[in-house]
Protein backbone atom coordinates (compact mmCIF):
# COMPACT_ATOMS: atom_id res chain seq x y z
CA UNK A 1 0.00 0.00 0.00
CA UNK A 2 1.21 3.50 -0.82
CA UNK A 3 1.66 6.07 1.91
CA UNK A 4 -1.24 7.98 0.38
CA UNK A 5 -4.42 6.60 -1.14
CA UNK A 6 -7.26 8.47 -2.84
CA UNK A 7 -10.69 6.83 -2.84
CA UNK A 8 -13.78 8.01 -4.68
CA UNK A 9 -16.76 8.26 -2.35
CA UNK A 10 -19.33 9.98 -4.58
CA UNK A 11 -19.23 10.75 -8.27
CA UNK A 12 -22.35 11.49 -10.25
CA UNK A 13 -25.29 13.71 -11.12
CA UNK A 14 -28.32 13.76 -8.87
CA UNK A 15 -31.71 15.39 -8.41
CA UNK A 16 -32.19 17.86 -5.57
CA UNK A 17 -33.91 15.20 -3.46
CA UNK A 18 -31.15 12.67 -4.11
CA UNK A 19 -28.56 15.29 -3.26
CA UNK A 20 -30.31 16.06 0.02
CA UNK A 21 -30.52 12.37 0.87
CA UNK A 22 -26.87 11.64 0.05
CA UNK A 23 -25.41 14.66 1.83
CA UNK A 24 -27.73 14.40 4.84
CA UNK A 25 -26.83 10.74 5.23
CA UNK A 26 -23.09 11.42 5.18
CA UNK A 27 -23.25 14.38 7.55
CA UNK A 28 -25.64 12.57 9.90
CA UNK A 29 -23.27 9.63 10.04
CA UNK A 30 -20.34 11.90 10.97
CA UNK A 31 -22.44 13.74 13.57
CA UNK A 32 -23.50 10.40 15.04
CA UNK A 33 -19.85 9.28 15.13
CA UNK A 34 -18.87 12.36 17.13
CA UNK A 35 -21.91 12.04 19.42
CA UNK A 36 -20.90 8.46 20.22
CA UNK A 37 -17.28 9.49 20.70
CA UNK A 38 -18.36 12.22 23.11
CA UNK A 39 -20.71 9.86 24.98
CA UNK A 40 -17.90 7.30 25.29
CA UNK A 41 -15.54 9.95 26.65
CA UNK A 42 -18.15 11.00 29.22
CA UNK A 43 -18.73 7.39 30.29
CA UNK A 44 -15.03 6.49 30.48
CA UNK A 45 -13.42 9.70 31.72
CA UNK A 46 -16.30 11.84 32.98
CA UNK A 47 -15.56 14.63 30.51
CA UNK A 48 -16.49 15.74 27.00
CA UNK A 49 -14.37 14.94 23.99
CA UNK A 50 -13.23 18.40 22.90
CA UNK A 51 -12.76 17.47 19.25
CA UNK A 52 -16.21 15.90 19.04
CA UNK A 53 -17.75 18.90 20.77
CA UNK A 54 -16.26 21.28 18.21
CA UNK A 55 -16.99 19.12 15.17
CA UNK A 56 -20.69 18.51 15.86
CA UNK A 57 -21.85 22.14 15.45
CA UNK A 58 -19.49 22.64 12.49
CA UNK A 59 -20.93 19.59 10.71
CA UNK A 60 -24.50 20.69 11.46
CA UNK A 61 -23.75 24.12 10.01
CA UNK A 62 -22.30 22.61 6.83
CA UNK A 63 -25.29 20.30 6.46
CA UNK A 64 -27.61 23.31 6.77
CA UNK A 65 -25.64 25.05 4.00
CA UNK A 66 -26.16 22.11 1.67
CA UNK A 67 -29.88 21.99 2.44
CA UNK A 68 -30.15 25.72 1.72
CA UNK A 69 -28.37 25.29 -1.61
CA UNK A 70 -30.60 22.47 -2.86
CA UNK A 71 -33.77 24.09 -1.48
CA UNK A 72 -33.18 27.41 -3.25
CA UNK A 73 -36.09 28.15 -5.60
CA UNK A 74 -33.63 29.14 -8.34
CA UNK A 75 -32.39 25.55 -8.57
CA UNK A 76 -35.69 23.77 -7.93
CA UNK A 77 -35.65 21.58 -11.05
CA UNK A 78 -31.90 21.45 -11.56
CA UNK A 79 -29.59 18.49 -11.20
CA UNK A 80 -26.49 18.55 -9.04
CA UNK A 81 -23.09 17.08 -9.66
CA UNK A 82 -21.39 15.72 -6.58
CA UNK A 83 -17.79 14.59 -6.45
CA UNK A 84 -16.23 13.52 -3.19
CA UNK A 85 -12.91 11.88 -2.56
CA UNK A 86 -11.30 10.53 0.57
CA UNK A 87 -7.56 10.92 0.97
CA UNK A 88 -5.92 8.51 3.37
CA UNK A 89 -2.30 9.01 4.40
CA UNK A 90 -0.24 6.65 6.50
CA UNK A 91 1.57 8.63 9.19
CA UNK A 92 4.92 7.73 10.66
CA UNK A 93 4.34 8.78 14.26
Q: Which of 56, 59, 62, 61 is nearest to 38 (CA)?
A: 56
Contacts of 30 by beta carbon, 8 Å cutoff, 6+ apart: 55, 59
What number is the average pLDDT over the span 25-34?
Answer: 97
Report d(CA 70, CA 52) in Å as an integer.
Answer: 27
Write the CA distances from 80 to 8, 63, 83, integer angstroms. 17, 16, 10
CB neighbours (10 Å) of residue 49? Answer: 20
What number is the average pLDDT over the span 41-46?
Answer: 97
Average pLDDT, the chain: 94
| pLDDT tens digit sequence for 72-92 | 888 888 999 999 999 999 988
pTM (two decimals): 0.84
Amino acid sequence: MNKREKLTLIEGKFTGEETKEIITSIFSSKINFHNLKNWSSNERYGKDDEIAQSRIPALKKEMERVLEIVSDKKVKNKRFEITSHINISILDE
